[in-house]
Amino acid sequence: MLPLCRLKSRKMTANKLILGDNLEKLKELDDECIDLIYLDPPFFSNRNYEVIWGDEGEVRSFQDRWAGGISHYISWLKERVEQMHRVLKSTGSIFLHCDWHANAYIRVDILDNVFGINNFINDIAWCYTSASHSKSKLPNKHDTIFWYSKSDVYTVNLDDIRVDYNEKTSSNYKKGLTGSGTFYKGKIKSEDGILHEKGKVPEDWWADIAIGARYPKNSDNNIGYPTQKPTKLLERIIKVASKEGDTVLDPFVGGGTTIVVAEKLKRKWIGIDQSVAAIKVSDLRLKNQQGLYSEPYDLQLHTYNSISLRNQNPFEFETFIIKEFGGIPNIKQRNDLGLDGKMPDNTPIQVKGSDNIGRNVMYAKT
């Protein structure tokens, strides 16, 4: 029997919305308990719009992945994808959403390496259009979504994502005609065989789903930030690679679109994000769509036992606190002039286990 997906440290409901570093939270999940993973990690673009909420967790992530260039970014993402591979069922799939800044590195250095070249399924181009200001090259107007399975036996429901034929083909289809005028009693022969009455399976380029920013401001789909992904995009991914009752994981849950759609499609879900604001927005969206028969979910926020923390070894306490704030603890823990670590921008950090905080160190002029 495949294991029920749960955090190893505590029993929870099937649906979970978790605040925290996804690397650490993924490590707490059981092996092979997820059916489908969709992740839209922060792109390697160094653009300010990627800092959407502006809280400490998100800013820290933005700084971390840029600290050492593309190699650091790939290492940062790869260790998370390795954990995703572990928690994914043998019949499961992963859809990794990225753009031109790092897609080649992600495919070769991460996905081919972790999932295997033979488990590559599709390189999906999600195409869109918007105003362009480039005068030196063709505008970059598509994202890449890599689809990999964990094994050669995986869930796929192509009939569930069929789309209408284009206007010309649809007209002929309704008439029961091919291009040559031959009558086929409701179906049309094509180069691929017989066109399905429900429509065609979309190719690996998707130009029929508008980007989130184009939704009207008063639309339920628009929650007001530029990297939002549309519900239709997640509907197609979740439908094609999972079944009702399966568990969907989004380890970069952002504004919650994945889990909101998973809930509507009667899937179980887990969403993780280290931004407090992202978790709050996702929680609100879930609450707004809940009905009488909605499944309950577990909202997990940071909780600390103050007594246990106070009784920790002082140096362990210092290290814990500094890391929680996204800082770097000192390797040297004595004769450090009262400074216990620093932030990525070199802002000094001092940690005290007592109630009174001070710094009794005198500097001599140099």
CATH of the domain at 47: 3.40.50.150
Is the model more confident about 295 or about 153?
A: 153
**Ranges assigned E (strand) in 50-199:** 88-98, 120-127, 142-149, 189-190, 193-194
Question: Is the Cβ–Cβ distance between 35 and 92 less than 8 Å?
Answer: yes
Q: Please say whether the dihedral angle defined by the alpha carbons of residues 189, 193, 198 and 202, taken in this order, is positive or negative.
A: negative
Please report whether residue 97 resides in a domain: yes
Residue 259 lies in a domain: yes
81 and 119 housed in the same domain: yes
Structure tokens at 234: 């997640």
Any domain includes 149: yes
Helices (H), 101-151: 103-105, 112-114
Report yes or no on 363 lying in a domain.
no
pLDDT band at 366; cut points 50, 70, 90: very low
Distance CA 52, CA 226 (A): 8
Indicate whether 155 and 168 sit together in one domain: no
**Is residue 364 included in any domain, yes or no?**
no
Categorize the per-residue pLDDT at 11 as very low, low, confident or very high, splitting at 50, 70 and 90. very low
Let me know whether 116 and 180 are in one domain.
no
Which of 179, 200, 221 is the last residue in one of the domains? 200
Please tell me the predicted confidence (pLDDT) of residue 27: 96
What's the whole-number mean pLDDT along residues 146-159? 97
Contacts of 333 (CB under 8 A, 6+ apart): 315, 318, 340
**Pair (257, 339) in one structural domain:** no
What is the DSSP pairing of strand 205-206 with strand 88-98?
unpaired
Over the chain, what is the mean pLDDT?
79
* 237 & 317 share domain: no
Same domain for 138 and 180?
Answer: no
pLDDT at 343 exceeding the cut of 90 = no
Length of the chain: 366
Could you tell me if 213 and 147 lie in one domain?
yes
Looking at the predicted structure, is the pLDDT value of residue 179 above 50?
no
What is the C-alpha separation between 91 and 119, in angstroms, rounded? Answer: 11
Tokens 């998707």 -> residue: 206
118 occurs within a structural domain? yes
Q: Read off the pLDDT band of 363 (50, 70, 90).
A: very low
User: Which letter does DSSP use for residue 29 in this model?
Assistant: B
Shared domain for 69 and 193, answered yes or no, is: no
Q: Sign of dihedral through CA atoms 352, 19, 254, 42?
A: positive
Q: Which of 153, 174, 200 is the last residue of a domain?
A: 200
Residue 33: name the closest of 69, 52, 8 by CA.
8
d(CA 201, CA 236): 11
Phi and psi at residue 86, in whole multiples of 5°?
-65, -45
pLDDT mean over 336-351: 75
To the nearest 10 degrees (0 to 180), the angle between helices 257-264 and 231-241 is 60
Overall number of domains in the chain: 3
Tell me whether residue 127 is in a domain. Answer: yes
Q: 159 phi and psi, to 5 degrees? A: -65, -25
Q: Are residues 330 and 222 in the same domain?
A: no
- Total Cβ atoms within 10 A of residue 126: 20
**Which structural domain range is residue 191 located in?**
164-200
How large is the average pLDDT for residues 156-161? 96
Query: Is residue 7 included in any domain, yes or no?
Result: no
179 and 74 inside one domain: no
Q: pLDDT tens across 270-298, in order? A: 999 988 888 999 999 999 988 877 889 99
